[in-house]
Chain A
Amino acid sequence: MKYIFYFLLVFALPLRLLAESSVSDTQTQVNTLISGSDSLKAVVINSLISSEKTEVYPLLSAINDKKLFMYNNILITLGEKQTSDDGTEKFKLLEVYPEFKELSSNDGKSLYLPISELKEVEFSRSSRLLLAPITPYLNLLSPEVEKRKLAYSQFQGLKDKSILPKLYSALAHEKHQEILRLGRETIFSIQLNSSPEASHKMWTDSLTLNWGPNTQSILEQYAAIQSNPELKNFASEKAEELQSKHERLRMFQNLFSGLSLGSILIMIALGLSIVYGLAGVINMAHGEFLMIGAYTTYCVQNIMSPTSDLFFWISLPLAFLVSGFWGFVIERLIIRHLYSRPLESMLATWGVGLVLVQIARSLFGDLTAVRTPSVLSGGWEVVQHLVLPYNRLFIIFLSAFMITATYLVLYKSRLGLQIRAVTQNRRMSSCLGIETNKLDAMTFFLGSGLAGLAGAAMTLIGNVVPDMGQTYIVDSFLVVVTGGVGNIAGSIVSGFGIGFLFKMLESFFQAVYGKVLILTLIILFLQYRPKGLFPDKGRIGED
């Protein structure tokens, strides 16, 4: 009897006390979670789950993700990661209980700390497993964007109203625009599927107004199973409305991609075109000057501090200079011997390209990448579902800048006057006192520099690899040929033309067949205008 009493005292009494406290005070329970024994923690977790109190869900979510820590006696979990200059990793701190919010330091900024300064609150695997049944709800509050997205989409299409309170309370914490829209879509779709018919039109309208990523298919599915003809028609009308809206936006997006591709092609073609016009040399190594520009950006990034975005802006003019310098050297050494021997110069410059690619490969290895500056990451959401990436926008602006600058140099400066004179008649210009030799070198510097600048910009949309110049170079040749070799205006018109046409064809066919079709179109076009859109007026190319 005595032993039984002791038994009660040691084991049963705390359990009894605990059971009482679970009814009365969540805070006490949470305290037990921090300092209690494993078995107590399990009991508390169980009772928290069954209580269905949404305010403790962030806390449970942190336990579930194994990311519950103590900091200054506050329970916190880890938010986004930040890597500082010396390589240490710091995390944003999020308080989980009693409130779910970001912690801020004294100056009001978000607080970032390394894990080493935090004390982990540990849980046994078995107690974490208790959370498995409600993991989908807990993920609604996960600090990771992708997890939250997945969690919300998992609830779509349910017909059960009982989860709505959890969704509402989770969505109240949400700040991410895209997930907010997805979450609302989830709630409206559950409402639509589970509410009485009288309110269906309202929920359909809400869904349409909200226009999340899956709205169209939700409405279509609803219309497919709805027996009431009025509601059915209403929903399918709305779905069609969204469909046509979506198509219009996609066309706009295509136009934008075309503009972006066109400006890339123009950036590359500008330099090619100037050099050919002046010297009659098609520079097959032009793509490699682009590569040099990209590697310049890469080197600047590595030299400067890795967190600062300044490197990109510095590397733009630097890429111009470095590529231009290489172009200058190669012109002096090799290409000046090949003027007005266009076919031979194609082969020699191809050789130059081979050597340059191999140099890059020995120096840098096969695959490197440049970080996108934070200003240029993300995109501008013009309207819902139409996002224009900043890096593409930047490339379009840069190419506009390059076109303007080239135009100003060619048509408003003394150098440009001389370049145009030599393009028209080399010997006559020479007789009139233009130092054609010097001018050739200058032009080559300009042309290669433009390619380098394009290369620096290209790091925004792709990796930096030794043969990156090859990707667009043949297309740029086509741009130059279609526009009329040696003609800037022609290059611009044909660059945008080919860019748009390609993206338009790509939306109907696969990219490859689009390419083949474009080639056919260009050959047909050259039947009527064998010298391109705007034939050059120079002496080069005549027999």
Chain B
Amino acid sequence: MKKYLTADSLFYILLIIIFLIVLPLGNILGFVSNNTISLWGRYFCFAIAALGIDLIWGYTGVLSMCQAFFFCLGGYSIAMHMLLSATGKGVYSAAIPDFMVWNQVETLPFFWEPFHSFGLSLLLALALPALFAFLFGFFVFRSRIKGVYFAIITQALALAVWFIFLRNETMLGGTNGLTDFKSLLGFELSSPRTKLGLYLLAFFTLCGTYLFCRWLVNSKFGKVLVGILDSESRLSFTAYNVVNYKVAVFVIAAILAAIGGVLYAPQTGIITPGRMDVKASVEMVMWVALGGRGRLKGAIIGALLVNYLYSVCTSLFPESWLYILGILFILTVLFFEKGFWGLIEMLEAKLTEWSPVKGSESLKANV
């Protein structure tokens, strides 16, 4: 006798019912606000980035604390394209984005040029983080920097690039970041239809990346990743080139984060260096930890749940959010190593143990 309603299937059913049917339909019928749609659309972007973190940290055991930087590289690339496609329509009708006019810049900096074309921008949005992660990862992993060392180095990297993006002379908008986007590929960003479209795009991308990650972790590649988590040195003794695997997973995680960033910028309408400071990266890791590391569903649930909690808490009791987050961090790490999804799996296991169906099955097996 086969059991149909497992936690796994419940997860898929709920995900599809809530996010593919209830919310979009409600939005079209008018009882779910555009704001809510955009909000969840953004959470999907975070969830995509969280999948990457789960791959590198949950499965491989490498704690990267600069994922928010890759997220922002994607976001900034697409934001630059959106700003350039809106030039001439700004307050100053100049051929360059408005913030450059304020900074007394007259010609477009050379590195903005490629972002005139959408295709190139999209390519760069994914290729830049990938290239960066490859170079950085190659040098760092090659010298066998691991564990705490790697976490600290990536944290320092996050701090350094954050400083660079904060500067005005790097022509990336400084502290204010990039904002005031008008349209993307001709779609008005302010219209509800576009918002819903972006939401659905983010949702399907999340589903796609999830399926990709699931395939990846079940492949031989994924098994090697878990091998690295369990014992890196034993794996390397059996002639696996651990460095290559680590670099590969670091690049994949960076690309996933960048995909999230690309979808995030048009939905939020602004991207600032605040999205990529040290805190932002650590919080991303915490989503995965809270949701359940080493489980892809856990990463998704963590990202959605923590961010939803954040928007609820900051509107209800703004003072207490950091207390809640901090205490959740501590409790999860101390008591629920497998996070929220681990808790659900545990409950499910207990339930099946008690259920009579299971008992009779085992009886039959004995017979």
Which residues of A are at the interface with B, using a C-beta cutoff of 8 A? 276, 282, 334, 337-338, 342-348, 350-355, 357-358, 362, 470, 474-475, 477-478, 480-481, 485, 510, 512-513, 515-516, 519, 522-524, 526-528, 530, 541, 543
Return chain B residues, CB-CB under 8 Å to A343. 57, 61, 63, 147-148, 151
Q: Determine the chain B residues whose CB is within 8 A of the CB of A350 once the complex forms.
A: 282, 286, 329
Q: Does the CB pair B231–A351 fall under 8 Å?
A: no
When distances are taken between beta carbons in the complex, the residues of chain A under 8 Å from B330 are 334, 348, 351-352, 355
- B136-161 interface mask toward A, CB cutoff 8 Å, 1 = contact, 0 = none? 10011011110111011101110111
A519 to B161, CA, bound (A): 10
Chain A residues, Cβ within 8 Å of B166: 512
B282: shortest Cβ distance to chain A, in Å? 5
Question: How far, in angstroms, from A362 to B63 measured CA to CA in the complex?
Answer: 32
21 sampled A-B residue pairs with Cβ under 8 A: A342-B148, A343-B57, A346-B63, A347-B286, A347-B329, A348-B330, A351-B286, A351-B329, A352-B326, A354-B322, A355-B327, A362-B319, A485-B148, A516-B161, A516-B164, A519-B153, A519-B160, A523-B140, A523-B153, A526-B149, A543-B234
The answer on a CB contact under 8 Å between B156 and A519 is yes
A477-B155, A516-B163 given; A354·B326 CB < 8 A: yes
CB closest residue in chain A, given B170: A512
User: Which residues on the A side are within 8 Å of B157 (C-beta)?
Assistant: 519
* B334 interface contact, C-beta 8 A: yes
Q: How far is the CB of A357 from chain B (nearest CB, A)?
A: 7
Closest-CB distance, B150 to chain A (whole angstroms):
9
List residues of chain A with CB within 8 A of the CB of B143.
526-528, 530
Once A347-B289, A352-B326, A354-B326 are accepted as A-B contacts, the answer to whether A337 and B334 lie under 8 Å apart by CB is yes
From known contacts A343-B148, A352-B330, infer whether A358 and B323 are also in contact, taking CB-CB under 8 Å.
Answer: yes
- A351-B327, A354-B326, A355-B322 are known contacts. Are A527 and B142 too (CB-CB below 8 A)? yes
**B299 is an interface residue with CB less than 8 A from chain A:** no
CB neighbours of B289 from chain A (8 A): 347
Q: Which residue of B lies closest to A285 (CB)?
A: B326
Residue of A nearest to B136 (CB): A523
**Interface code B151-184, partner A: CB below 8 Å = 1, 0 otherwise?**
1110111011101101100000000000000000
Q: A347's closest neighbor in chain B, by CB?
A: B333
- Whether the pair A354, B152 counts as a contact (CB closer than 8 A) is no
B147–A512 CB distance below 8 A: no
| Residue from the list A276, A344, A515, A523 in contact with B333, Cβ < 8 A | A344
Q: Inside 8 A of B164's CB, which chain A residues have their CB?
A: 512-513, 516
- Whether the Cβ atoms of A338 and B160 lie closer than 8 Å is no
Tell me which residues across on chain A come within 8 A of B142, comparing CB atoms.
527
Residues of B within 8 A of A346 (CB): 63, 148, 151
Question: Which chain B residue lies CB-closest to A350?
Answer: B282
Quick check: A338 and B278 within 8 Å, CB to CB?
no
Given A343-B61, A343-B63, A358-B322, check contact A348 B329 (CB 8 Å): yes
B139 — which chain A residues lie within 8 A by C-beta?
A: 523-524, 527
Give min CB distance, B57 to chain A, whole Å: 8
Which residues of chain B come closer than 8 Å to A351, judged between CB atoms? 286, 325-330, 333
Interface centre among B159, B323, B337 (most CB of A within 10 A): B159
Whether B153 lies near A481 (C-beta < 8 A) is yes
Chain B residue at smallest Cβ distance from A334: B330
Considering the complex, give the chain A residue whose CB is closest to the CB of B233.
A543
Between B63, B142, B147, the greatest number of chain A beta carbons within 10 A of the residue's beta carbon is seen for B147
Instruction: Closest B residue to A353 by CB, please name it.
Output: B326
Which 8 A-B pairs give the minimum distances between C-beta atoms?
A: A351-B329, A354-B326, A355-B326, A358-B322, A348-B333, A351-B330, A351-B326, A527-B143
Given contacts A358-B326, A474-B278, contact A338 B333 (CB under 8 A): yes
Considering the chains assembled together, what is the distance between the CA atoms of A516 and B147 in angstroms? 22
A351 to B325 alpha-carbon distance, docked (Å): 7
4 extra interface residue pairs, beta carbon distance < 8 Å, beyond A347-B282, A516-B161, A543-B233: A334-B330, A338-B334, A481-B149, A516-B164
B253 at the interface (CB under 8 A from A): no
Q: Which secondary structure characterizes the binding site on chain A?
A: helix
Q: Which residues of B contact A337 (CB under 8 A)?
A: 334
| A485/B149 contact (C-beta < 8 A), A527-B143, A543-B233 known | yes
- Tell me how far the C-beta of B54 lies from the nearest C-beta in chain A, rounded to whole angstroms: 14
- Distance (whole angstroms) from the CB of B145 to the closest CB of chain A: 6
- CB pair B155 A474 closer than 8 Å: yes
Provide the residues of chain A in CB contact with B234, threshold 8 Å: 543
Instruction: Tell me the complex Cα distance, A475–B57, Å.
Output: 23
Within the assembled complex, what's the spacing in Å between the Cα atoms of A484 and B145?
12
Judge if B82 is at the interface, Cβ distance under 8 Å: no
Closest residue of chain B to A474, judged by CB? B159
**Chain B: minimal CB distance from A138 (Å):** 41
B131 to chain A, nearest CB (A): 16
A228 to chain B, nearest CB (A): 43
Q: Which of B136, B152, B233, B322 contacts A478 (CB 8 A)?
A: B152
B48 contacts the other chain (CB 8 A): no
CA distance A337 to B147 in the complex (A): 19
How far is the CB of B135 from the nearest CB of chain A, in Å?
10
Q: Are B163's CB and A512's CB within 8 A? A: yes
Give the distance in Å from the alpha carbon of A95 to the alpha carbon of B329 in the complex: 66
Known contacts: A282-B152, A334-B330, A338-B333. The answer to whether A357 contacts B322 by CB under 8 A is: yes
**CA–CA, A350 and B325, complex, Å:** 10
Per the bound structure, the CA–CA distance linking A414 and B132 in Å amounts to: 49
Chain B residues, CB < 8 A from A338: 333-334
**How far is B143's CA from A526's CA once the two chains are assembled, in angstroms?**
7
B285 nearest in chain A by CB position: A347
The interface residues of chain B lying within 8 Å CB-to-CB of A357 are 322
> Nearest Cβ in chain B — how far from A227, in angstroms?
40
Please indicate the chain B residues that have their CB under 8 angstroms from the CB of A541 in the complex. 147-148
Pick from B167, B286, B325: contact of A512, CB below 8 A: B167
Closest Cβ–Cβ distance, residue A149 to chain B (whole Å):
32
Chain A hits for B328, CB < 8 A: 351
**Closest chain B CB from A447 CB (angstroms):** 16
Known pairs A334-B330, A334-B334, A352-B330; A543 contacts B231 (CB<8 A):
yes
In the assembled complex, the CB of B33 is this many whole angstroms from the nearest CB of chain A, namely 30
* A381→B170 CA distance, assembly (Å): 39
The docked-state distance in angstroms from the alpha carbon of A78 to that of B361 is: 98
Contacts of A485 in B (CB 8 A): 148-149
A362: chain B residues within 8 A (beta carbon): 319
Contact with A along B302-334 (1 / 0, CB 8 A): 000000000000000001001101111110011
Give Cα A315–Cα B319 distance, bound, in whole angstroms.
Answer: 30
> For residue A337, which residue of chain B has the nearest CB?
B334
Report the Cα distance A276→B152, complex, angstroms. 13
B61: chain A residues at CB < 8 Å are: 343
Q: Interface digits, B276-295 against A, CB 8 Å rule (1 contact, 0 not)?
A: 00100010011001000000
